[in-house]
Amino acid sequence: MSEADSFIDEVNEEVRRERLFRTLRKYGWIGVLAVVVIVAGAAYNEYSKARASAAAQALGDEIVGALGLSGPQMRASALDGIEVDGAVAGVVALLKAAEDLAAEDPAAAVEALTPLAARTDIPGVYADLAAFKIVLTGGEAVDRALRDQLLERLATPGAPFRPLALEQQAIGLAAAGETDAAIAAARALLDEPLVTPALARRVTQLLLALGAEMGNADG
Mean pLDDT calculated for residue range 199-216: 87
Per-residue pLDDT band at 35 (split at 50, 70, 90): confident
Q: Does 38 or 24 have the greater pLDDT score? A: 38
Instruction: For residues 92 and 108, give the distance between their C-alpha atoms in angstroms, rounded to a whole number.
Output: 14
Contact 163, 171 (CB under 8 A): no
Structure confidence by residue, pLDDT tens digits, 108-141: 899 889 888 988 888 888 899 999 999 988 777 7
- Mean pLDDT over the full length of the chain: 83
Mean pLDDT calculated for residue range 54-76: 84
Structure confidence by residue, pLDDT tens digits, 132-191: 999 988 777 788 888 899 999 999 998 999 999 999 999 999 998 999 999 999 999 999
pTM over 0.75: no
Per-residue pLDDT band at 37 (split at 50, 70, 90): confident
